[in-house]
Structures are given as C-alpha cells and as structure tokens.
Amino acid sequence: MLPDDTRHKIENITSGSLIEGPQDNCTAIRNSLCNRFKTSTTVKTDFEGNAIIKEEQARFIEDFCTKSNLWHTQIPGEDRYLTRGGEAKVYLHPDNRHVIKKSPCLAN
C-alpha cells in the first residue's frame, strides 16, 4: 500500500492539478505539461495517437530545457554510470545526490 503523500502526488498528476508553491524546474515543467496536455486516469488504447503526444511532450521538454539552460554539456565518466532507464543511460552526478540521464538521441 502506498503512503498517503505518494497517493496524493499520483492523484495530482493524473488529474492534471497544478502544484503551487515550489518553484523548482521539475515542478515548473510538470505544471507546463499539465497546462498543455490533457491528463486521464483511464487506460489508453490509442497507442499510435499516444506516441504522437509523447513526441510532442518530448519536444516541449527539450525546448524548456534549452530555454532554461538545463542541459549538461559534460556527461560524467563511465565510473559514474549507474544503470539504463528505458533507453537512456543514468549517471551519478559528482555531488553524489543527483543523477544525470543521457538520452540516446544526444551526441556523445
């Protein structure tokens, strides 16, 4: 069973509720996505249509990162490699508190 705070966060995401207060980049992009793209709590069957939406969302996030100067230009070395997350490689940030996700579509 999920803790109440986790359940509440999931409900906020699936309902498309905006989060007020925190001004961090993750909350900003999440709120922007909720404003721009419809959310739903039902299982989707239109896989082709959803693939198009996911591509639009990816471009939206890439544009946000570019405009906000959030791209890392130097990926940590292989000694910081942790795992693969989907298609991306995940590295431990030098601060040992964050991770960096490298998309396969980005140049090495």
Grouping H, G, I as helix, E, B as strand and the rest as coil, residue 83 is: strand
Grouping H, G, I as helix, E, B as strand and the rest as coil, residue 27 is: helix
pLDDT at 43: 59
Task: For residue 79, give the DSSP letter.
Answer: G
pLDDT at 107: 47
pLDDT at 108: 44
Task: For residue 99, give the DSSP letter.
Answer: E
Task: For residue 104, give the DSSP letter.
Answer: T
Q: Read off the pLDDT band of 105 (50, 70, 90).
A: low
Torsion of CA 92, 94, 100, 106, to 10 degrees: -120
Average pLDDT taken over every residue of the chain: 77
pLDDT at 80: 92
pLDDT 10s digits, 71-96 = 877 888 899 999 987 778 899 988 99
> Which of the pair, 16 or 96, is modelled with greater confidence?
96
Residue 29 has pLDDT above 60, yes or no: yes
List all residues 6 or more positions away from 53 whose beta carbon is below 8 Å from its beta carbon: 37
Mean pLDDT of 17-25: 70
Indicate the angle between helix axes 25-36 and 47-67, nearest 10 degrees. Answer: 140
Residue 17 has pLDDT above 90, yes or no: no
